[in-house]
Amino acid sequence: MRILLTGKHGQVGFELQRALAPLGEVHAVDYAECDLADTAAVSALVRSVSPELIVNSAAYTAVDQAESEQQLAHAVNAVAPGVLGKEAAKLGAWVIHYSTDYVFDGAKQGAYREDDLTNPLSVYGRTKRDGETALEESGARYLIFRTSWVVGAHGSNFLKTILRLAVEREQLDVVADQYGAPTSAALLADVTAQLVRQWQREGNGLFPFGLYHLVAGGETTWCEYARFAVSKALAAGRSLKLEPDAIRGIPSSKYPTAAKRPTNSRLDTHKVRAEFSIDLPHWQTGVGYILQQILRES
């Protein structure tokens, strides 16, 4: 089986290289090898590799910068998934694509289901929503996974930022009115590989393609997430200036950003768990494991 993987140096792409390697020949590329903003290059890449499966983990993820780089964000997040889908359809291949909680406005009280109406608040969210639509309309078979608050041992993320600041500061203010589930890149990669194996067994006829929410179990706020990280790092013997109770929760209004974030990023995972009979561990399990990796490597 030949697999084309984009975004190999991203948090999810890095883990996907490991998880997908046993399943076939993985042709992994990054920006230097294929600029997803260049539709001709994207088409040429797919035709040259001629994959049976395309896994698109590449994205424009600079949420605030997207507000001033709308054209680039649109090209990578909204147009490229459709191009990948159209090329896949020509080959009889299928596509796995990752989307985001930012397609919602966060106004719902409970967890968002796959069939809830989208209403993104930011350029990033709109381009990711439009990328979903482009892939859905491409004619290719697909899995789209909406996820949230991705964290991994490889790459930059909130967890690493908190650990760095905990060495430098004795007090920290962190937003406490946005809710979601930190989801490890390893979990996303492992579930992806599990479902590819299922497809290999069942084939196109039986496999339940479609749109799914895929996040870790439980929920938290950015503030509680930061306190958890610092607490675990201290328990592991790391010398920090910052104590968990010195992390103060603040409202989003006190931390203005160029792009507006949804206050509720809870995603309902009943559909993916029921359809594929998978268990999704609590977010603390994944974050704890990644934290151990980061501490070992730093």
- Tens digit of each residue's pLDDT (9 = 90 or more) over 184-213: 999 999 999 999 999 999 988 889 999 999
Nearest to 187 by CA among 153, 225, 224, 233: 153
φ, ψ (nearest 5 deg) of residue 169 = -120, 155
> What is the C-alpha to C-alpha distance for residues 254 and 128, in angstroms, rounded to an integer?
27
Confidence (pLDDT) at 222: 97
Active site (annotated) includes residue 124: yes
Contact between 14 and 39 (Cβ < 8 Å): no
Where residue 203 falls (left for φ over 0; alpha for ψ -120 to 50; beta otherwise) is left
> Could you tell me where the DSSP H helices lie in the chain?
11-20, 39-49, 70-73, 80-91, 123-136, 158-168, 185-206, 222-235, 270-276, 283-297
Mean pLDDT by 10 residues, the chain (298 residues): 96 96 96 92 96 97 96 97 98 98 96 98 98 98 98 92 95 96 97 97 92 98 97 94 96 92 97 96 96 88
φ, ψ (nearest 5 deg) of residue 48 = -70, -35
Contact between 128 and 150 (Cβ < 8 Å): no
Tokens of 17: 């290289």
> What is the C-alpha to C-alpha distance for residues 56 and 81, in angstroms, rounded to an integer?
8
> What is the C-alpha to C-alpha distance for residues 47 and 267, in angstroms, rounded to an integer?
35
Confidence (pLDDT) at 50: 97
Confidence (pLDDT) at 156: 87
Confidence (pLDDT) at 196: 97
Strand 53-56 to 94-100 pairing: parallel
Judge if pTM exceeds 0.85. yes
Q: 122: how many CB neighbours lie within 10 A of its CB?
A: 21
Crossing angle (nearest 10°) for helices 123-136 and 80-91: 20
- Domain positions in the chain are 2-156+181-217+266-281
- Across the chain, mean pLDDT equals 96
Catalytic residue among 124, 142, 212, 225: 124
Q: What architecture is the 2-156+181-217+266-281 domain classified under in CATH?
A: 3-Layer(aba) Sandwich (3.40)
Confidence (pLDDT) at 297: 81
Q: Tell me the Cα Rg of the chain.
A: 19
Confidence (pLDDT) at 203: 87
Nearest to 105 by CA among 92, 119, 117, 93: 119
Confidence (pLDDT) at 155: 86
- How far, in whole angstroms, is CA 16 from its chain's centroid? 12
Q: 283: how many CB neighbours lie within 10 A of its CB?
A: 25
